[in-house]
Amino acid sequence: MASSSDVTSSAENIPGNPESGSADRRGRVRLRRAAVMAVPATLVTAGLAVLTAQGALGVQFAISGMPFVVTADRLEGDGFAQFGSLDHMIENSPNEGDTGGQVLVVTSVVKSGKLTNMCQSVDLGGIQLVLTAGDKGDKVSVENLAIDSDDITGNAAFNNIEIGRDASTFDKVGTRGLPGVYGQQADKVVITDLYQHNYAATAAVFKLPGLHMRFGGEGCPR
């Protein structure tokens, strides 16, 4: 492959006007470089457009755009799946920032699960609204939980996991993604030291023993 100096040298040796030929050649090189750099951004935009057009939403409502945190000492789930989704805010939402009102998320689905020592917090502009439950012996229980996150950490273990499966063919939970969307599913999942940065969630059943809701200066610890 020719170096940049080789390209310049060959351009200068073009018969006719050397300066004009060199400028044209360098201009074409810059255009090619710009086109290559634009490819990843174009692909991402196209992917978002597909998700938007086909309604690939883990949660079927307009999100506020204010993220909330969920932590738990332990999550145990029977029936688990994950796939990419796109959440939407209302038009001209004050929380859209530079997102255009859309947030790319990972939808995690648990068919039936238990959480130990769960904490949920949301920043209301310097004051945290904090909810805790399942920290006094009885665990939080969920059924058909779908939660949309853009950051997840923890220590995870899966039983019979399938990675890279088409999200439209899931059969271990009641929720499916779009045809051609990358996904994974498993019979069981256990996650310890769970942390999620979320934008939306739904559940058919959400039982919170020992519920305590309060305002405070600090949210859920990571």
DSSP calls for the chain = ---HHHHHHHHHTSSS-HHHHHHHHHHHHHHHHHHHHHHHHHHHHHHHHHHHHHT--SS-S-B-S--EEEEEEEEEEEEEEEEEEEEEBPTT-TT-TTTTTEEEEEEEEEEEEEEESEEEEEESSS-EEEEEES-SSSPEEEEEEEEEEEEEEEEEEEES-EEEEEGGG--SSS----TT-EEEEEEEEEEEEEEEEEEEEE-SEEE-TT-EEEEESS----
Which pLDDT does position 203 carry in this prediction?
94
Check residue 54 and give its pLDDT: 37
pLDDT tens string 6-50: 434 434 444 444 444 544 544 444 433 333 333 333 334 344 444
pLDDT the model gives residue 21: 52
What the block records as the tokens of 118 is 């769960």
Listed as ranges, residues in the chain with pLDDT below 50 are 1-20, 22-23, 25-58
Q: What is the pLDDT of residue 6?
A: 43
Q: How many CB atoms lie within 10 A of CB 214?
A: 9
| pLDDT given at position 36 | 34
Cβ atoms of residues 175 and 208 within 8 Å: no
- Predicted TM-score (pTM) above 0.75: no
**Residues 95, 53: Cα–Cα separation, whole Å:** 22
Q: Which of 160, 179, 155, 145 is nearest to 58 (CA)?
A: 145
**Closest of 129, 60, 118 to residue 88, by C-alpha:** 60
Residue 80 β-bridge partners: 110, 186
pLDDT at residue 29, rounded to an integer? 40
For residue 64, what pLDDT is reported?
A: 95
pLDDT score recorded for residue 106: 95
